[in-house]
Structure 1
Amino acid sequence: MIYFGIQAKKGKIDSSGVTKTGNSNVAEIHNQVSMMLGYEIFDPELNRRVLVDHAFIIAGGEITKQARNWLGGKLDQSKRAQILFMDREDILNLFVVINIPLPPGAVPEVSWLSDDVPF
C-alpha cells in the first residue's frame, strides 16, 4: 500500500517574503508538508496506523521555480523524493492528454469577431 497526502492551494505559490491575496508563501507549504509526512493516519483495512508515503503539492495557479528550489533545499534527501508538484499548467495538460473536454472557464474566451477596427 502507498499512501498519498495532498496539500492544495487556490492561487500561486511563490518564494517571496510577502505574498499578495490569494497567493501562498512556500514557507507555509514547508511547515504543512513536514507535518503531513510525519503524521500517522489510520488505515481501516489494515487496522493500524501508517505514515503518508508521498505528498502532492497542488496549486490552482503557478508554482514558481524559486519556490520549488527553496522547498527542495529545506527538505532532507528522503523527504525531497516524497514531494510531487502539480500546478495549473499540469492540471490542464492532464485534460488534454486524457482527451477530456476542459471545464467551462478553464481557458479565457477569445472573441474573434469584433466591431473594433484592428489598427
Structure 2
Amino acid sequence: MLSLKNQMAKNFRNEFLAQAEELKGNIQAAIEHSITGNLRDSVRVKDVSTDTKPSVLVIAGGSLTTKRTQAGVFDYSLAEEFGTVKQEAAPFFYPTGFAVNNPTPSATHRRSLSWRRLRRSNIPPS
C-alpha cells in the first residue's frame, strides 16, 4: 500500500500531466502556421517527476525544428516565438502559458476589490 505522501505525489503528478496535456493542445492551437507540421508536432509533454516530487515540463522545438544553415544550427521555433532581423515574431508558446496561468486583469481587480471589502467588513468600527 502506498504511503500517504507517495499517494499525494502520484495524484499531483496525474493532475500535472492532465494540465500539461491541456496546455500542449492550447499551444499547438496557437501556432498560426506550420507548413510542415513539425512546429506543432514539436510541442510535447515531458514527465520529470521523482518518487516524491511531481514535475512536468511542456517543451517546444528541438530536433523536429532544428535546421542546419551556412551560419550554423538554427531552431526555427525560436525564430517563430521571438522573431529575427528579417521575420516578425509570431509568439505561440509564452503568451499561451501566461494566459493559462494568469487571470485577466479584470478578474484580478475584482478579486482585489472583494478582498478589500472582506477586510473592511471584519474591521470593528472605531
TM-score (norm 1): 0.24
Which one has the largest radius of gyration? 2
Q: Report the structure, 1 or 2, having the larger strand content.
A: 1
More helix by share: 2
Q: State the TM-score, normalizing by the size of structure 2.
A: 0.23
Higher relative contact order, chain-length normalized (CA < 8 Å, sep 6+):
1
